[in-house]
Amino acid sequence: MFTIDTYQHKKILVLGLAKSGVTAAALLHKLGAFVTVNDFKPLSENTEAQGLLEQGITVICGSHPVELMEEGFELVVKNPGIPYSNPMVKRAFEKNIPVITEVELAYQISEAPFIAITGTNGKTTTTTLIFEMLKEGAKHPLIAGNIGTVASGVAQEATKENTIVIELSSFQLMGIDTFKPRIGVLTNLYEAHLDYHETKAEYNQAKANITKNQDQDDYFIYNADQEEVEEIARKTKATLVPFSAVKDLGRGAYVRDRWLMYGDERIIRRDEVALPGAHNLENILSAIASAKLSGVANDAIRIVLKTFTGVRHRLQFVAEKSGRKIYNDSKATNILATTKALEAFDAPVILLAGGLDRGNEFDELILALKKVKALVTFGQTAGKIEEAGIKAGIKTIVRADNVEGAVPKAYQLSEPGDVILLSPACASWDQYKTFEVRGDMFIEAVHKL
């Protein structure tokens, strides 16, 4: 890492802990800053804060007192999950105190260049594909961000021989200043996180920050099938590398005659790719472009694409049993994600769906449900999803107590050649702590079959 003196003897507030806050606070302390940490969780229940206290860092826990902002801080490093409407953040802006996220710190100390991936859907799959391609191509990648370890932790260990492949959310990107990836990837833009961003325009602008500091020596890989993404591409100073799942671009990454292409090179036939789903084609093409720009050989790219079957809980192939293929898509916590998952399959689908009731209806799912052979529901939204299933003309609909109970019911309704798919269209919090726990319970129940 670069040992910078930017923060030496500066008074800095780290607002909100979790893993990113802990790592940022410890790093700033090491760089000579006078660090104060403020976290909402009481100190008696806050092992992370207790650990920082032992390092000699000032810790204030149990609330977010706005009056703390009067203590002369020169910088706030904010946990990405804390909204900009938070009174302390608003007060920081009123006092012209810069507010960043720890990704900015990671960039400032990193000897390694970054490949940064953002977008509404496909970030994790794209990030993982790029990482695997660079690893297969002996390019010494490290993985960070939402998918891996905290960026500012990874950056401390990285050397100029590495490349940091990082998944970034809109929350993180709102808090960058100088962050400049050598390769930036924007997979797509859909309406999301409006409880945080308030408007789609603000959300889009946050995503656009991935390329705001790039210049002609950097690359911006973007989805040429979406006008909103192309609008961002038109404003960047980076070298543009488009991808398209539907248009023969003749440049960048695209499909021609069932071949996945990069420029004028045939990379791999579409039917040789292990990862299912039309929506994953976008992820694959953007990963190919990233790997090619990083100097990865075609053979290494092909090896990954022939063997990679998906990220855990994201349209993950679990098993084949008696002619039924079983997939875990527990990460599908909204209607759009489940629609994309259903579009991935030509075979009849037994769908397992349900979860936390956020007050929405499921009429937008009806069209996608028309290809579902049988529906097994669970959780708070079971009744609402059943109503959508009835409107879609599904004749076989049953209810289970939870995911574990849904698996044997789905198997009993299936036949050889069917797909059994967990794609809930809802968050997990009514019955499970996280979508990962829900997916793990599904996998365990599948193995019990």
Q: Which residues contact 193 (CB under 8 A, 6 or more apart)?
A: 170, 171, 203
Give rounded-to-5 percent helix, strand, coil for the chain: 40, 20, 40
145 phi and psi angles, rounded to 5 deg: 90, -150
- Cα separation, 27 vs 37, in Å, equals 13
Strand partners, 100: 77
Instruction: Give the burial class of 210: count Cβ atoms within 10 A of its Cβ; 0-12 exposed, 13-18 middle, 19 or more buried.
Output: buried
The response to whether 120 counts as a known ligand-binding position is: yes
- Cα separation, 406 vs 196, in Å, equals 33
Neighbours of 376 (CB within 10 A): 29
The response to whether 123 counts as a known ligand-binding position is: yes
- Cα separation, 60 vs 64, in Å, equals 8
Nearest CA-CA partner of 125 in 345, 408, 341, 359:
341
∠ at Cα 259 (253, 260), nearest 5°? 25
The response to whether 127 counts as a known ligand-binding position is: no
CB 75 within 8 A of CB 12: yes
DSSP of 292-324, one letter per residue? HHTT--HHHHHHHHHH----TTSSEEEEEETTE
The response to whether 389 counts as a known ligand-binding position is: no
The response to whether 439 counts as a known ligand-binding position is: no
H/E element holding 266?
strand 265-269
The response to whether 119 counts as a known ligand-binding position is: yes
Give the β-pairing of 99-100 and 114-118.
unpaired
Annotated binding site for ATP: 119-125
Annotated binding site: 119-125
